[in-house]
Structures are given as C-alpha cells and as structure tokens.
Structure 1
Amino acid sequence: MIYLREVRDSDLSTFWEHLSDPAAQQLAAFTGKYHYDRGLFDSHWAKIRSNPENLIRTVLADDEVVGHVSVYGPPDEREVTYWIDRAHWGRGIATAALTALLELVGTRPLYARAAADNAGSIRVLEKSGFVLTGHDKGFAQARDGEIDEVILTLN
C-alpha cells in the first residue's frame, strides 16, 4: 500500500540515502549541491520545510519510507517534484504518490520538468495527467553539462 504523510525529522537520513545515490542522480540529471553534501542537504531541507507554501510529503510503501513528493513555487508557477528510492523503481510507487499529492493540491496549472531522456519520470507524469508542453535546455549537475529537458503541464 502506498500512502503519504507529513515529513518527519527521522525521514531525512533516508532521504539523504536516496538523493545521494549516484545512479539515481545520473538519471534524474538535475541535482543540486545539496545532493552531494550532507550539511547543505540539512540546510536545504530546513529551509524548504519551513516555507508554508511548500507542500512536502513522505512516500511510504508498506510502512517503509521510499521517497518524497512535493509542490513548490509561486502561485502561478507551482511545480511538482518527487524522488523515489531506486530500489523501488518500476513498481508504480511514483505514480501512486504523485496522484495522491495532486489530490491534496487544488492549484492548476501545475508544472514539471524532467530530463528528456528520463522516460520513466516522463511516463509517471503523463500517467498523472501532465501533458508535454515544451522543451528547454538546462545545466544538469549530475551529468556535468547542458542537456535537453521537457516541460509538462497539468491543467
């Protein structure tokens, strides 16, 4: 069973393990400096958790913390993001978690971005109702260069 709950302090060590996985970073491509430094990670999470405009939830599968999902950004540019532990990919968890998050958020449109070659993430977003609305290029720290990305919108 997949469900969401509010983030607890005890979740952060597990999130660190997920976010610092080099193979997952490579696929996600768009990482931040906090993916590589535990001190920056802790500061980043303190900041985003203290912002009441961010909706962040822990993803649980059969009572195991397997990732997180969130909505953030200004009202007219709200964006979703998620990260599921690589050991749990391919089981529908990201789709179920994102669908549950979208039920909590009445704001539309919502936006998402993904590396253009990240077919799994794009598939999750499309299953959740997002449609491809644009293309862009961006610097992907995990790949140390500029890559193609897609922009998806949920109206």
Structure 2
Amino acid sequence: MGVLVSEVALRPIEKADHDFLFDQMRDPESVRMAAFTAKDPDDRPAFDAHMAKIAARPDAVQFAVTLDGELVGSIGSFVMEGDTEVTYWIARPFWGRGIAGRALALLLERVPDRPVFGRAASDNAGSLRVLQRAGFVIVGTDSGFANARGAEIEETILRLDYSS
C-alpha cells in the first residue's frame, strides 16, 4: 500500500477564486487570529477593491495556495515603507497540516528580496511558528489597532535575511 503525498503548489489567483477567498476571510476564528484584517470582513465591494488594488501594484505578488489542486488559501508579498513583507491566509479546515509553511517556502523561492519581513499578532502562535520554521527571526514588536479585535494589540515583527 502506497503513501498518499499531498502536494502544496502556488498558482496565479484567478477571478473565479475570489468567492472562496472572500468567504475564508470571513471565518470568525480565522479573522480573530489574523487580527489585522479589513474593517468589515463582510464588505464584498471593499474586498473586491482590495484585490484589484493588489493586482495593480507592481511591487506586490499574490498567489493562490492549492493542496492537490484544491484552493486552500492565498499567499503573497508586498512592499510597505520600503520593506518587503509576506502575508498568507490558509482556510481554517487546513490549519495544522504544514500547508502554510510549504507555501511560504515556495513563495520565498519566487521572491528573492532580502531582508523580507513577516508580522503576526503576538498571540498567534501558529503563524509565528510558520515564520520561524522558515528561518525568520524576531526583531521586535509593534502595536496597532486590530480591526478583528476592536483593540490595540501587540504584533511581532520577524525578518529573514540571506542565508549564510
């Protein structure tokens, strides 16, 4: 009996992916963990405008994350205040299966910029673990208003440099 191997892959986001991505970004537990989210996760016109804005940015890349061909999330990078940052969102039914870590490794192969930064709510242990396993190191914290929590919270900042 053979071992079933799941394949994580990245592909360009297609317009047909938007319904899935919009729904996943409205999951209450996912929104709480992400913390720094849209003001109103149920605002579809704002979501569509955000996706169009990302697609139009020359300094941003965004991919669909698939598992054995099934859409399970998104990942990308963008430049903010001169720094390249990564972002990802995996649908909650797929958490804890190593998908985010594999997708991040694939993204980092495509985004040669270093240093590259990642940020996560300081209490989001899963996301911090994904970043640290990819080689990111904690370089500080910041605080900011988290729409999903309706409060100012601490955010951990991590950095990945060129490997030596």
Give deviations 1:45-84, integer Å, cap 9, x for gaps.
Answer: 0111121221111000011100000000158411000000
Equivalent in the alignment of 2:34: 28
Determine the C-alpha separation between the residues in 2 that align with 1:81 and 1:74.
Answer: 12
The share of aligned pairs that are identical, in percent, is: 46
1:149 to 155, 158, 162: 155
8 A Cα contact 2:121 2:155, kept in partner: yes
What is the match of residue 82 of structure 1? Answer: 88
Partner amino acid, structure 1, of 2:64: T
Match of 2:19? 13
For 2:113 and 2:120, locate their aligned partners in 1 and report how far apart those are by CA, in whole Å: 20
Moved more, 50-59 or 87-96: 50-59
Q: Write the letter of the residue equivalent to 1:25.
A: V
Matched residues in 1 for 2:8 and 2:81: separation? 28
Distance 1:28 1:74 in 2: 18
Matches within 5 A, 1:25-64: 25-33=31-39, 35-64=41-70
Match of 1:118 in 2: 124
Separation in structure 1 between the aligned mates of residue 102 and residue 73 of structure 2, nearest angstrom: 12
Q: 1:30 to 1:101 in 2, by over 3 A?
A: same
Q: C-alpha displacement at 1:35, in angstroms?
A: 2.5
2:137 aligns with 131
Contact map agreement 2:39 2:148 (CA 8 A) in 1: no
Q: Which runs of 5+ in 1 are unaligned?
A: none
One-letter amino acid of the structure 2 residue matched with residue 146 of structure 1: E
> Match for residue 106 of structure 1?
112
TM-score computed with the length of structure 1 as normaliser = 0.96
